[in-house]
Amino acid sequence: MRNLVVLDAPSNLGLRPPAPGTVPGCYKLAGALREQRIVQRLNALEGGVVVPPRYDRGDWQAGDGVFNATALAGYTRTLADRIERHVRAGELPVVLGGDCSIQLGASLALRRIGRYGLAAVDASHDFRHPGNSDHVGAAGGEEVALATGRGQDDLTDLEGLKPYLRDEDVRFFGIRDEFEDDRAELAALKIPTVTVGDIREWGADALARATAEAFDVPDLDGFWVHLDADVLDPSVMPAVDSPDPGGLLPDELTALLRPLVNSPHCAGFNVTIYDPDLDPDGTAGALLADIVVAAFAQS
């Protein structure tokens, strides 16, 4: 049994402002889950906080590339330092975000160590890049593309380690069934994509176990699990920036996560995007904490 270590990465650098003059509230995710006693409930060690730079897009305009890029690059390295330390120590980091751009820190950390896969549990593929879009900018919707080497070098080639992830080592789960156009490029790249409908047809537990086994190959040193709270249906998780209908229900998500995070080949886990500003009574945050705790419970 490895020790779990809870580490806060409360960065919102990768999201657009929800309204003029405001900042995305997902930087409060870690505090909200800590209020639900997630560290104690996971029986985890305390990993502290990786404090992000100030959110400031300056005079950024569409066409300038990824906003907050300099801050993101610095934060990615700093977060990678902390994650790398825990993984090398034989611990399993549980990283509380933040927006999805924190995944770059995990990807860089693991790239320093060896070759790792990614199981991304997300309503969307976060694969926007200059080759398929004319409006890159928000790294929180682009982090998998960046991690696989697509985009500007100041984010994709940190430390000369481009790409942090290989296409063939990425798996997506929970993509909405109606996003057919988004899935075409992934299919051409032979990146497996499992929709909500697929999960319900084939079974969350069976799919997750098959994926964990698929990552158990000599070429790979393990895999990371990325959870975006928007994979849940907005009927139970409305507190996200893109609450698209047709998502997973709590029991389905727990069943999907449990074989992944409990695999001996899982190197770590992060949770992102939940915004406490959109959850005034804390109901959605309590649910998210329950799901994470239940996922790590031994079956």
CATH at 247? 3.40.800.10
- pLDDT score for 299: 53
Pick the more confident residue, 181 or 193.
193
Band (64; pLDDT cuts 50, 70, 90):
confident
pLDDT over 60 at 198, yes or no: yes
Q: Is the peptide bond before 97 cis (omega within 30 degrees of 0)?
A: no
CA 115 → CA 76, 111, 149, 223, distances in Å?
A: 18, 6, 14, 9
| Structural domain span for residue 247 | 4-296
- Residue 205 CB burial class (10 angstroms; 0-12, 13-18, ≥19): middle
| pLDDT > 70 fraction of the chain, expressed in percent and rounded | 98
Query: What per-residue confidence (pLDDT) applies to 287?
Result: 98
Is the full-model pTM beyond 0.85? yes
The β-bridge partners of 93 are: 5
* CA pair distance 210, 75, nearest whole angstrom: 34
d(CA 107, CA 112): 9
Tell me the mean pLDDT in the region 62-78. 93
Residue 166: per-residue pLDDT: 97
The mean pLDDT of 107-124, rounded to a whole number, is 97
Residues 175/195, Cβ–Cβ less than 8 Å: yes
- In whole numbers, what is the pLDDT of the chain averaged over residues? 95
3-state DSSP helix/strand/coil % of the chain, to nearest 5: 40, 15, 45
Task: Give the per-residue pLDDT at 58.
Answer: 83
Which has the closest alpha carbon to 120: 9, 260, 2, 220? Answer: 260
* pLDDT single digits (tens) 264-273: 999 999 999 9
- C-alpha dihedral sign at 266, 80, 117, 32: positive
> How far is it, in rounded angstroms, from Cα 194 to Cα 168?
15
pLDDT of amino acid 112: 98
Mean pLDDT, range 8-20, rounded to an integer: 94
The predicted structure's pLDDT at residue 268: 98
Mean pLDDT confidence for 152-162: 97
Q: How far apart are CA 33 and CA 107, in angstroms?
A: 23
Cα-based distances in Å from 106 to 29, 75, 122, 175, 202: 18, 11, 16, 21, 29
Q: What is the DSSP letter of 51?
A: P
Based on the structure, what is the number of domains in the chain? 1
Calpha distance 52→59 (Å, rounded): 20
Tens-digit pLDDT profile for residues 182-191: 778 898 899 9
Quick one: pLDDT at residue 181? 67
- Res. 59: pLDDT tops 90: no
Per-residue pLDDT reduced to its tens digit, 208-259: 999 999 999 999 999 999 999 999 999 999 999 999 999 999 999 999 999 9
pLDDT of residue 33: 98
